[in-house]
Amino acid sequence: MNTILLVEDDPSLIEIYSITFAYENFIIEVAHDGQECLQKVKTIMPDIILLDLMMPEMNGIQVLDKLKKDKETKDIPILILSNISESTYETQALELGALQYLIKSQYLPMDIANIVKNTLLKNHINPHS
Amino acid sequence: MLLNLYYLIFLSVIITTAFILIFLYKRHLHSLSNPAYIASDILETINETVIITNAMCIIIFINQAGEKLLKIPQKKIVGKNISEIFSNPQTGITPNLKEINIRNEEGEIISVSTSFNKIINENQNFIGYSITLEENTTRRKYISQLQKKVDELASINNLLEENIKNKEQEEQKIEQKVQEKTFDISEEHTRLYTSIKNLCFGFIMTDKEKNIIIINNTAKNLFSIPNKETNITLDNLQTHIQGDLKLSKIVNLILTNNKLLAYNNNSIDNKYCNIYLSPVILDLKTAGAVILTEDITEEQNTEKSKEDFFTIASHELRSPLTSIRGYISLIKQSYFADIKNEELIKIIIDIDSLSVRLINIVNDFLDTPKLEQGKIRVKKEPCDLVEIVKACIKETNPIATSKNLLIKFTSSIESATALGDRDKIRQIIINLISNGIKYTEQGEITIAIEKTPNSQYKILIKDTGKGVSKENIKFLFSKFQRTDPNKPMTSTGLGLYISKLLVERMDGSISLENTEEGKGSTFSFTLHAYEQSIVTNKS
């Protein structure tokens, strides 16, 4: 089973994505802010990270930058999952190495699950292996 | 005998000595040291007629010029009385120059100017006259020539005087003009200097050695320099600039390249400004540079606040809506089978469609300004239009079905790869299909894809609805316009406007193909067909 690290501070969305990903046979780990993400990522070593941008302590762009600069974590595929539609954030995130920039409100949880599966396949990670 | 011999010798000596003396005397007479000898030669060479008489007025000498004038040989005239020469001989002869007429040998009357001078010897006795005659024709000729020259000189003099006068007048005029111009320049300078001093733009002027020669108060304020401060250098200003901008370097660029330059969004002492540079050109040479600074701190702060508002609004409005939609999605996916109450199922479906509508409204309001400012990222990558259209039909089918409308894809084409942003294309198609459903009460919505001759794909969305009235066609793609303004408000009026902005960002165009009231409308939009070679060449 693949492990997803969901970096999200909204409890409702954590609940919704957790249920959906569990239904799709993913192991889901949650970090509630950027700091927690950086602490957990090396112990969990997830197959993919879903990263929110607007979070307390450290925003998603800063977390992404740190993850991509770290040798141990730089190869983990990262999808940005945010409700900010500013092109500056999107451009910055993609430049820093995020694979996709998804506006949460435009996707149902199942759609996100499908995108995650496709991303894992593209990165030669067999979903559910 | 001997006595006779001595006497003979003595006589011979006397005679020999006498001859020698005579010889020496003759030689003396003909030498240059004898004035009398050379006087006659001199008189012969003079151009004027010279006549010498004795005290009895008998002519004893006349020179060659005289012979020529009177046309009488010297031999004939010498010995005659002077009165025979002059037709009207002067009595009481004076040395003054007089004009008289004389008759020559051939009887011609000649007008001459005469000068009679008495000759007095060393014992103060009167011994004769020396008379000079000058023919008046020659004299007059000279006088006339002289007069002509005098006249010429006089006219030249007049001309010169006139020129001097004109020059003086001209100088006065020039002086007056210079004074006027100096005054104008001084006035202009004061006006310009005051304008520059009070300009809302910062104004800095340098010479070609990059020394600051003018800096106004606005520029001083921007660089936090006291107004009284003088001797400001570019290096002084540089210390206030944050970031990579090097004033000295960009002024160098201006001085060497003579081109206008602009540097936007520079940070100077916690303020923001745009910097514009221009060369100062005098007599086709660069004499310095002008640096204009535009303080945009307020605009930056306003823009930042606006951006912050949109960022926060996007996040705060969309997050709960995403959760609502997410929860409903979970219910539909996992718990629908457990719900037996039909009414509850309908309520849940209604909440779902309302949440979708609300998300769309929020998206429309938040995204429109950003789309207008180009702050929404629109990708241009290969997208399969057939696949997107089919997905959109699937997505909108429940709404169409609820109105008993049929929705179908009518083209037989299996794939159509266009260049664009998959999500934005989907948004446009959903918007056009939703519009069709909204304004159609019976019949169908059909979607077709055509390839145009100019390598584009045209996506056509046709409905069998009420059509668009002529007066509404003009404003159809404008902001806050609805296809049917008489219909109760159920949309923001931004759908077609956003679709237009999105299509244009993908280098396509959107239009109302045709419409007929009561029969329906066809909307279409175009996108560039993806051609492998074009993209390969570009990359």
Q: How far is A72 from chain B (nearest CA, A)?
A: 31
- The pLDDT assigned to B326 comes to 93
Asked if the Cβ–Cβ distance from B326 to A109 is below 8 Å, we say yes
- The pLDDT assigned to B197 comes to 82
Does A1 contact chain B (CB < 8 Å)?
Answer: no
Q: How many CB atoms lie within 10 A of CB A44?
A: 17
Give mean pLDDT, residues A84-96: 89
- The pLDDT assigned to B90 comes to 47
**For every one of its 539 residues, what pLDDT tens digit does chain B have, with 9 covering 90 and above?**
667 888 888 888 889 888 988 888 777 666 656 666 677 778 888 888 888 888 888 888 888 888 888 888 888 888 888 877 765 544 444 445 577 777 777 777 777 888 888 888 888 888 988 888 888 777 667 778 888 888 889 999 999 999 999 999 999 999 999 999 888 888 888 888 888 888 889 999 999 899 999 898 899 988 988 888 888 999 989 999 988 889 999 999 888 888 888 998 888 888 899 999 999 988 888 889 999 999 998 888 888 888 788 778 777 888 899 999 999 999 988 888 889 898 999 899 889 888 888 888 888 888 888 888 888 888 899 999 999 999 999 988 888 988 899 999 999 888 899 999 998 999 999 999 999 998 899 999 999 999 999 899 999 999 999 888 888 888 888 877 666 656 655 567 788 999 999 999 999 999 999 999 889 999 999 999 998 644 443 33
Residue-wise DSSP of B53-104:
E-TT-BEEEE-HHHHHHHT--HHHHTTSBHHHHBSS--SS--SS-EEEEEE-
- The pLDDT assigned to A16 comes to 94
Length of chain B equals 539
Which residues in chain A have their CB less than 8 angstroms from residue B374's CB? 87
Which tokens sit at B257? 């390249």
Supply the angle between the helices A34-44 and A60-69 in degrees, to the nearest 10: 30
Does B224 contact chain A (CB < 8 Å)?
Answer: no
Report the alpha-carbon distance of residue B119 to residue B123 in Å, rounded: 11
- The pLDDT assigned to B535 comes to 46
Q: How far is B423 from chain A (nearest CA, A)?
A: 9
- The pLDDT assigned to B69 comes to 83
Q: What angle do CA B76, B81, B84 make, to 5 degrees?
A: 80
Burial class from Cβ neighbours inside 10 Å (0-12, 13-18, 19+) for residue B231 reads: exposed
Interface of A with B in 64-83 (CB under 8 A): 82-83
Report the alpha-carbon distance of residue A82 to residue B362 in Å, rounded: 15
Asked if the Cβ–Cβ distance from B315 to A88 is below 8 Å, we say no
Does B411 contact chain A (CB < 8 Å)?
Answer: no
Does B367 contact chain A (CB < 8 Å)?
Answer: yes
Q: How far is A16 from chain B (nearest CA, A)?
A: 6
Asked if the Cβ–Cβ distance from A106 to B423 is below 8 Å, we say yes
Asked if the Cβ–Cβ distance from B377 to A106 is below 8 Å, we say no
Q: Which of A42-46, A121-125, B167-171 has the lowest mean pLDDT?
A: A121-125
Tell me the HSE value of A38 on the side-chain side, using a 13 A CA sphere: 16
Report the alpha-carbon distance of residue B95 to residue B98 in Å, rounded: 9
Report the alpha-carbon distance of residue B70 to residue B73 in Å, rounded: 9
Asked if A98 and A119 count as a contact pair (C-beta separation under 8 A), the reply is no
Q: How far is A120 from chain B (nearest CA, A)?
A: 20
Does B334 contact chain A (CB < 8 Å)?
Answer: yes
Asked if the Cβ–Cβ distance from A105 to B363 is below 8 Å, we say yes
Which one, of B451, B323, B161, lies nearest residue A83 by Cα?
B323
Asked if the Cβ–Cβ distance from B315 to A82 is below 8 Å, we say yes
Tell me the HSE value of B326 on the side-chain side, using a 13 A CA sphere: 26
Asked if the Cβ–Cβ distance from A109 to B323 is below 8 Å, we say no
Does A100 contact chain B (CB < 8 Å)?
Answer: no
Q: How far is A27 from chain B (nearest CA, A)?
A: 18
Nearest CB to A13 within list B314, B323, B374:
B323
Nearest CB to A87 within list B314, B325, B375:
B375
Q: Which residues contact B307 (CB under 8 A, 6 or more apart)?
A: A86
Asked if the Cβ–Cβ distance from A86 to B322 is below 8 Å, we say no
The complex scores an ipTM of: 0.88
CB pairs under 8 A between A and B: 78
Does A125 contact chain B (CB < 8 Å)?
Answer: no
Which residues in chain A have their CB less than 8 angstroms from residue B326's CB? 12-13, 16-17, 20, 108-109
> Global pTM?
0.55
Give mean pLDDT, residues A71-76: 94
Does B314 contact chain A (CB < 8 Å)?
Answer: yes
